[in-house]
């Protein structure tokens, strides 16, 4: 008789099978019955005739000793998946490519390390404290993490930690409990002091690639910052009637350099252009576009055009430079004779003016779209800048925050400006601090502050204005010469400068009488550094310097002005007409005796 089919039920067979599984490293815990299986006692209590036929059953014999006919073959059931405890855990851990260590107890003693761990760090004596025999765990900073895992009972992961040997690992610590019941089996809820499985994945290649990427980004950022700073003015021009300071701060390491810029341009005749802008985008490309726009602004400013016309020209140029990038900009002109700013804005934030009493006014903002959008006519607006007041121009990095509306940032800047006193550079620094700008700010910031000082005492004696309306016809010329001679004498200029000033006045007035239309006006202005002579009239045709032939009776006035003056120019006035001016540099004052 064949006993093979009966061997699974013979006494001792199950114990020997269990012993073989133990030798392979499998758990001794009995497998709980799966759904649909009955307990062994229940099967023993079943009647012989009620046992279902299966593949391992032996057909029963009839009472007369003749075997019963073979039953109808039953459908073979699908094999059930093996249970996890039936796999050799030690063999699986040993074959893992990651580094595995099992620590137990409050002293983190070593219970097991796999072959991959031994290959990297060498063998470790079992039962020894990890703090004494596993210095790599200290390099990875795992001791506090293991304590947290033991206390909290939740896995923890640290990424890309570096060891002394040079490798980088991402480590996961998983809490485990080991059984304390008899024969190594769990006994209710009783467990030992607990352990931690440390699994470390080698990410050295990834860490080195990430470091190379970060180094490349640092080099690119350094290049962009260098380019940005080289394209900004290295030293601001200081107008006669204004004191100016500016601050630029690039964003933090995680923020690429943007295209913020500012500039101060002396236009001649005592007038000054103030510019600030921001190219949308980051990196070298934004800085390069910024440099082109700044150069273009300086070129257009030399034409002495109204602010809205300058922005109109910039808009077309921005589209030609790069149609995919846009920029915001404010261009403002200060005229000391009018004590105000005439400005135009292309999508930029409003100018803020702080008066001498601390009140702050915001420009009314006749704002057009950003530069580069095309198809828009910009307009100019005005805001007062009397003596004693100051104006701040800034980029969005100063007031824009991710968690608040930009209008709230502008309002906060108004409050900070109201209490900001001191020199223009001090005001810039105080505004930066008041708005919470740090070295790790997520955007670059540009701030330009200009003050129209209220001069009193000896300083006020160096700044004078005088004006004369030119009425009548040709008889206005001798009146203008007499007026200029008297004014220049009262200002105590040298005889040479006095005579040059009278000659320039005569030529400018004669040019206006011949080519201009009423109303006409002569204005003389002196500062601590120059004498300015200006004549305005109602005609819009600007004079130009030309070469006069020998037989020509006219056309030499502007050439004479260009020859004797330090600088000269002309511009159209907002109400129609033109202004022609020239200026003479004053000698530096002699140093005072100590």
CA distances (Å), 160 to each of 99, 121, 147, 148, 203, in order?
A: 14, 17, 20, 19, 7
* CATH (residue range 458-585): 3.30.565.10
Length of the chain equals: 594
Closest CA to 113 of 98, 102, 127, 128: 102
Closest CA to 450 of 261, 282, 265: 265
What residues does CATH 3.30.565.10 cover in the chain?
A: 458-585
Q: Does residue 37 register a pLDDT over 50?
A: no
Q: What is the per-residue pLDDT for 250?
A: 81
Rounded mean pLDDT, 466-476: 90
**pLDDT one-digit tens code per residue, 113-164:** 999 999 989 999 999 999 888 988 888 888 888 888 988 889 999 988 888 8
Lowest-confidence pick of 121-135, 171-185, 394-408, 465-479: 171-185
What pTM, to 2 d.p., does this model score? 0.68
Q: Which pLDDT band, with edges at 50, 70 and 90, does 43 fall under?
A: very low
Q: Does residue 520 register a pLDDT over 90?
A: yes
CA distances (Å), 428 to each of 248, 258, 340, 359, 437, in order?
A: 10, 20, 21, 18, 12
Q: Helix crossing, 204-231 with 284-301: angle to 10°?
A: 0
Collapsed DSSP state (helix, strand, coil) of residue 230: helix
66-104 exposure pattern, b = at least 16 Cβ within 10 A, e = fewer: eeeeeeeeeeeeeeeeeeeeeeeeeeebbeeebbbbbbb
Torsion angle in degrees (nearest 10) through CA of 417, 421, 424, 428: -50
Contact 314, 326 (CB under 8 A): no
Cβ-proximal residues to 31 (8 Å cutoff; 6+ apart), any chain? 83, 85, 86
Q: Which residues pair with 334 in a beta bridge?
A: 272, 341
What residues does CATH 3.30.450.20 cover in the chain?
A: 87-178+192-202
Q: What is the per-residue pLDDT for 19?
A: 47
Q: How far apart are CA 106 and CA 515, in angstroms?
A: 101
Q: How far apart are CA 42 and CA 19, in angstroms?
A: 25
Q: What is the per-residue pLDDT for 54?
A: 45
CATH architecture of 87-178+192-202: 2-Layer Sandwich (3.30)
Within 13 Å of residue 593, how many CA atoms lie on the same side as its CB?
Answer: 0
CA distances (Å), 355 to each of 234, 342, 444, 493, in order?
A: 29, 17, 28, 34
Q: What is the per-residue pLDDT for 321?
A: 86
Here the tokens at position 198 are 């440390």
Rounded mean pLDDT, 76-96: 77
Cis peptide before 519 (omega within 30 of 0): yes
Contact 199, 113 (CB under 8 A): no
Return mean pLDDT, the chain.
82
Q: How far apart are CA 576 and CA 556, in angstroms?
A: 25
Q: Does residue 25 register a pLDDT over 60?
A: no
pLDDT > 70 in the chain, percent: 80
Contact 55, 78 (CB under 8 A): no
Contact 253, 280 (CB under 8 A): no
Q: Does residue 502 register a pLDDT over 60?
A: yes
* CATH (residue range 235-452): 3.60.40.10
Q: How far apart are CA 194 and CA 10, in angstroms?
A: 40
Here the tokens at position 103 are 């620590």
Q: Does residue 330 register a pLDDT over 80?
A: yes
Q: How far apart are CA 236 and CA 274, in angstroms?
A: 11
Q: How far apart are CA 250 and CA 224, in angstroms?
A: 10
**pLDDT one-digit tens code per residue, 216-273:** 888 877 777 777 778 788 889 989 999 999 999 887 665 556 788 999 999 988 999 9
Q: Does residue 189 register a pLDDT over 80?
A: no
**pLDDT one-digit tens code per residue, 429-458:** 999 999 988 887 878 899 999 999 988 888
What residues does CATH 3.60.40.10 cover in the chain?
A: 235-452
Give the residue carrying structure tokens 């404010």. 330
Q: Does residue 58 register a pLDDT over 50?
A: no
Count other C-beta atoms under 10 Å from residue 278's C-beta.
29
Q: Does residue 310 register a pLDDT over 60?
A: yes
Count other C-beta atoms under 10 Å from residue 441's C-beta.
18
Q: Which residues pair with 430 in a beta bridge?
A: none
Assign 3-class secondary structure to 250-269.
CCCCCCCCCEEEEEEEEEEC
Contact 165, 119 (CB under 8 A): no
């Amino acid at each position: 008789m064949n006993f093979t089919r009966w061997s699974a039920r013979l006494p001792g067979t199950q114990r020997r099978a269990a012993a073989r599984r133990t030798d392979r490293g499998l758990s001794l815990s009995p497998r709980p019955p799966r759904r649909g299986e009955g307990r062994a006692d229940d099967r023993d209590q079943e009647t012989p005739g009620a046992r279902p036929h299966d593949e391992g059953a032996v057909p029963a014999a009839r009472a007369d000793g003749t075997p019963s006919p073979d039953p109808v073959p039953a459908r073979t059931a699908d094999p059930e998946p093996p249970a996890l405890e039936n796999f050799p855990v030690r063999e699986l851990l040993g074959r893992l490519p990651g580094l595995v260590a099992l620590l137990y107890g409050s002293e983190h003693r070593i219970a097991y390390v796999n072959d991959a761990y031994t290959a990297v760090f060498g063998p470790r004596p079992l039962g020894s404290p990890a703090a004494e025999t596993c210095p790599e765990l200290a390099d990875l900073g795992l001791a506090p993490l293991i304590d947290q895992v033991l206390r909290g009972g939740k896995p923890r992961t640290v990424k890309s930690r570096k060891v002394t040997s040079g490798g980088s690992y991402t480590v996961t610590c998983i809490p485990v409990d080991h059984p304390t019941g008899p024969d190594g089996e769990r006994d209710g809820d009783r467990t030992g002091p607990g352990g931690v499985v440390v699994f470390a994945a080698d990410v050295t290649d990834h860490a080195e690639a990430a470091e190379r990427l970060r180094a490349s980004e640092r080099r690119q950022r350094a290049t962009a910052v260098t380019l940005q700073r080289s394209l900004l003015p290295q030293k601001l021009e200081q107008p006669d009637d204004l004191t100016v300071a500016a601050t630029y701060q690039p964003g933090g390491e995680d923020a690429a350099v943007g295209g913020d810029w500012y500039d101060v341009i002396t236009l001649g005749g005592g007038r000054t252009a103030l510019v600030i802008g921001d190219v949308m985008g980051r990196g070298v490309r934004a800085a390069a576009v910024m440099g082109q726009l700044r150069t273009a602004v300086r070129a257009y400013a030399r034409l002495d055009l109204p602010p809205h016309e300058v922005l109109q020209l910039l808009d077309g140029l921005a589209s030609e430079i790069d149609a995919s990038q846009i920029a915001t900009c404010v261009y403002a002109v200060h005229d000391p004779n009018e004590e105000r700013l005439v400005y135009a804005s292309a999508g930029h934030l409003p100018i803020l003016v702080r008066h001498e009493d601390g009140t702050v006014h915001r420009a009314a903002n006749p704002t057009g779209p950003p530069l580069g959008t095309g198809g828009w006519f910009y307009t100019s607006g005005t805001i007062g800048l009397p003596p004693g007041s100051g104006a701040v121009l800034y980029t969005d990095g100063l007031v824009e925050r991710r968690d608040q509306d930009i209008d709230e940032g502008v309002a906060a800047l108004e409050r900070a400006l109201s209490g900001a006193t001191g020199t223009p550079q001090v005001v810039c620094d105080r505004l930066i601090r008041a708005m919470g700008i740090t070295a790790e700010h997520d955007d670059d910031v540009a701030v330009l502050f200009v003050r129209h000082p209220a001069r009193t005492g000896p300083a006020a004696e160096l700044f004078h204005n005088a004006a004369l309306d030119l009425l009548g016809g040709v008889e206005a010329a001798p009146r203008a010469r007499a007026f200029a001679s008297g004014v220049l004498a009262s200002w105590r200029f040298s005889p040479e400068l006095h005579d040059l000033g009278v000659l320039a006045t005569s030529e400018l007035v004669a040019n206006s009488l011949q080519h201009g239309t009423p109303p006409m006006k002569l204005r003389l202005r002196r500062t601590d550094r120059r004498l300015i002579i200006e004549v305005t009239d109602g005609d819009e045709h600007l004079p130009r310097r030309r070469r006069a032939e020998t037989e020509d009776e006219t056309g030499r006035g502007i050439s004479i002005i260009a020859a004797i003056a330090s600088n000269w120019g002309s511009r159209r006035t907002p109400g129609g007409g033109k202004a022609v001016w020239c200026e003479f540099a004053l000698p530096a004052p002699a140093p005072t005796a100590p």
